[in-house]
Structure 1
Amino acid sequence: MPRSLAAAVPGSAGSPGRPAPAEHGGSAPHPPTPGWALILLGVFCSAALAALCWVAGHLHADPPLRTAARFVHLVALVVGLGSVLAVDWFALLWLLGRRRLADVLRTACTLQFPIWLGLAGLVVTGLFLHPDLASPLTRIKLGLVLAIILNGLHAHWLGQRLERYRNAGAPRRLLVRSGAAAAVSQLGWWGASLIGFLNSQS
């Protein structure tokens, strides 16, 4: 996104993406995550991000620590955004009829951990980079990060609904919502990356 569909929504952070029952020798699929649980998780993530912003405003890292944090920040960006782009590519091929939905779900399931890991790494290491919270660009970046997180949870919900159509055509409404989630993810990841680059030049 942050995931920029996860479990069939291109580039979002996070997805259920469980293999089809046939691939488990006939075992039953996992039950979907309750909607209330995703809402509570979204509230928790929003509060956690606000708390981290407060900590960042009171944390003053010395130069060696900032250098190390900047390196890990870059690694987290490569891991997170790289995984998002991989899922996006498979999802685009699916939308073009070049891949099955099952292929996208399998790829998203495999890459959901590095997507969330990369996003978490970006947020945590950002604490040590002395972000200017009074800057409008920094506030926009934080808004984009929050959008990536919430969009990833929405993608999780979408992925669980798309799971039942892995071997059949998905309804148009789910395709439209998947495309919208992909757009939000791409805007969030690339927008936050661009603002981070601009801030590093100042």
Structure 2
Amino acid sequence: MSDHEGTAPERLVSLPADPRPVPSLIITRTSPPGGGVLPRWICFLATGAMVILGWAAAVWTASHLTADPVLHTVALFVHLAALVGGFGAVLAIDFFALLWLSGRRSFPDVIQVADGLHALIWAGLAGLVLSGVLLQPDLSAPLTRVKIGLVLLIALNGLHIQAVQHRLEQPAAVASRMLLTRSVISNMLSQVGWWGAMAIGYLNSQN
């Protein structure tokens, strides 16, 4: 499965409010046939449940599927391309966030970059998981199991970051120390997940 493997996907940076509304690609409020609006926490839980089910399905498939050499080679190429796209987008957003914190970029600049790369992060994570299924991971190896766990952590943490960011976009929430603390912790977890999964993938490739 894999690597930074944004959830983000994931958007990695949860920052204070901007006057422009920022659309969410993962957690949204939807209108049921009756005309009401589902609470955001229900959408969040439903999306999280789908992520967990998708992750479990990928793990099960990887343990029962054997790819031929040609398909394995194609999957490896897709895996590396997804890593470059997804993890590269994560690092780009964090880099712009650091520039904003240092006063070299405005907050709208960070929002614009994050909006543009948000879908790429989730697409990269999905590509890593789907291609990783065809790479015949050794699920009996402890490191591989840790890597698979990190993939799930990255995805769920990405959803959490989006939820926190939605709260931070509300003017009254900017001064909330709790929300800012959750944002920082989530960003750190995301980095640990991506770097950890990538490192384990590299070590496994050397065996």
Q: TM-score category by the smaller chain?
A: 0.7 to 0.9
Question: Does 1:200 pair with 2:194?
Answer: no
Match of 1:157 in 2: 163
TM-score, normalised by the number of residues in structure 2: 0.81
The counterpart of 2:75, out of the listed 49, 66, 69, is 69
Supply the distance in 2 between the matched residues of 1:164 and 1:2 (Cα, whole angstroms).
Answer: 29
8 Å CA contact 1:7, 1:109 repeated in 2: no
Classify 1:19/1:133 alpha carbon distance in 2 versus 1 (closer, same or farther; 3 Å): farther
Aligned identity (percent) is: 49
- Give the TM-score of the pair, scaled to structure 1: 0.83
CA contact (8 A) 2:5 2:198 kept: no
Code of the residue aligned with 2:57 in structure 1: it is A
Structure 1 residue 101: deviation in Å?
3.3
**Structure 2 counterpart of 1:191, which letter?**
G
Q: 1:58 to 1:18 in 2, by over 3 A?
A: farther
User: Which residue of the partner structure matches residue 129 of structure 1?
Assistant: 135
Query: How far has the Cα of 1:127 moved from its partner?
Result: 0.8
User: Are the aligned partners of 1:8 and 1:101 in contact in 2 as well (CA < 8 Å)?
Assistant: no
Aligned length: 188
1:98-135 Cα shifts (integer Å, max 9, x gaps): 43433322221110111000000000000110001111
Match of 1:95 among 96, 101, 120: 101
Alignment CA distance shift 1:97-1:179 (3 Å)? farther
Once the two structures are TM-superposed, the CA of residue 50 in structure 1 deviates from its matched residue by 0.9
Deviation at 1:18, TM superposition (A): 8.4
Query: What's the RMSD between the two structures over aligned residues?
Result: 2.7
Higher helix share: 1
Structure-2 separation of matches of 1:60 and 1:129: 8
User: Contact between 1:6 and 1:159, CA under 8 Å: does it hold in 2?
Assistant: no
Consecutive unaligned residues of structure 2, counting only runs of 5 or more, are: 23-27, 31-38
Structural mapping, 1:13-162, within 5 Å: 20=20, 34-162=40-168
SS in 2 for 1:20: coil
SS in 2 for 1:129: coil
